[in-house]
Structure 1
Amino acid sequence: MANHAPLNNVDHKNLRVVTTRGAQYGDAVMSALTFPAEFRDLQACYPIVFAQDGNGSYDAIALLGFEQGENLFLGPNGWDAPAIPLTVERQPFMIGRGDELSVHIDLDSPRVRDGGIEGEALFLTYGGTSEYMERISSVLRTIHDGLAASRAFVTALVELELIESFVLDVELDDGSQNRLAGFYTINEDRLAQLSADQLAALHAKGYLQAIYMAVASLAQFRALIQRKNRANGSLR
């Protein structure tokens, strides 16, 4: 169970965080929340799709596998991709509720060490923040701003009827039939039918590039299927 606490350089001066990637550290996840500002980096590695958020809207997510608890980018040498979603990188930190400038840490995370030499130090000997902690603070601010901007982006997609559900049927090399369902993507036919004014409005808001990045990312399904085949082969 998570044990969140506001981070400070008195109570947590000796804390260190393991940055190695692996299932034992909580990285065995099927997807990662993302946002338009991150699409350019992630589209070269992962399919970017949308999932309903329970409130009638949608979240953008990067797919890392085909089933719960499966991350096909984890290997013996850590994370096998040049870009890691920021919502994964930020673990075990989060922004405190009600105060976007307050950094919290999950003290029960398997990444957290109290003392020793394993992992990255959070604070310097005399109380200043380490370069690692500065990076995490920047990541958290980017996530906070990105998720806030994502709400308006998704609203624009919904208003233009650009989001549609899809089903992906896959036959793996072992002959098994698999279906990925419950996700949504950009309706390319509808996108092609938008007027010049509608496209200009999307471009003016910075949304058009993100849309095309999400569409382009679907080509990564081929690579994800190849990873799944390799993973199945290693289990036999």
Structure 2
Amino acid sequence: MPQPTVLDFGEFAPADPWDLQVARWRLWVSWGMFGLAALIVPAAVLGTWNPGNYLYLALLFGHPWAAALGVLLLAGFGCNIRADGKPWGQSVLAVTWALALVFLAPALFFGAIRFFSASETERTIAVSPDGRAELVLTSYDTMHDFKQTIVVRTRAGVFSRQSHEPLACVTGVPFPGGEGSERPSDVEARFAGESTVLVTDHRGTREVSFDLRTMATSGPANCQGQG
């Protein structure tokens, strides 16, 4: 008759002592990626909506397509790490890379065109009497055209806000100067008071007022219609 076995209720020791540590590592990293992906979504919504017109909030999080790509990559790699080499993890990773290429291909194409054929410069041209706001001129030149815009921006560091619409906007043919030459400005502006600006462009000189609380302007320029 077979002898009864003795049950050992002691602590279980795995064959590989590192198994539990690797599993714990994969668990924390995957959850970290899922959590970061979850944080990107509200940040992108806030950056795109941006009711306060915060400059750096728009620059960092005001790009919904980039946010969607970030969420896709974080979620895909998180699932792959959690899978620990299982076939479904490899499938998720393959789909993630395929979708990422769909996002990245046009961005890389148009980004390369802009990098090699365009230049953008930005400079402050005036400061308000109370020092709280400034006028910023942005010149954007390509091989085919150029655009100059003037916006009003608060001087508050990382909390700076900017008018959603430009105060002035001029577009036209490229500047015929040689490489490294600076294009003369086709639009000018100066402060006439703490919340008023005199803008001079192809339409003549006009006064534009703005509200520092909302960054709304009384006469924003229409870049599509030149004015």
TM-score (ref. length: structure 2): 0.31
Higher relative contact order (CA 8 A, sep 6+): 1
Question: Which structure has the larger Rg over C-alpha atoms?
Answer: 2
Identify the structure with the greater helix proportion.
Answer: 2
TM-score (ref. length: structure 1): 0.30
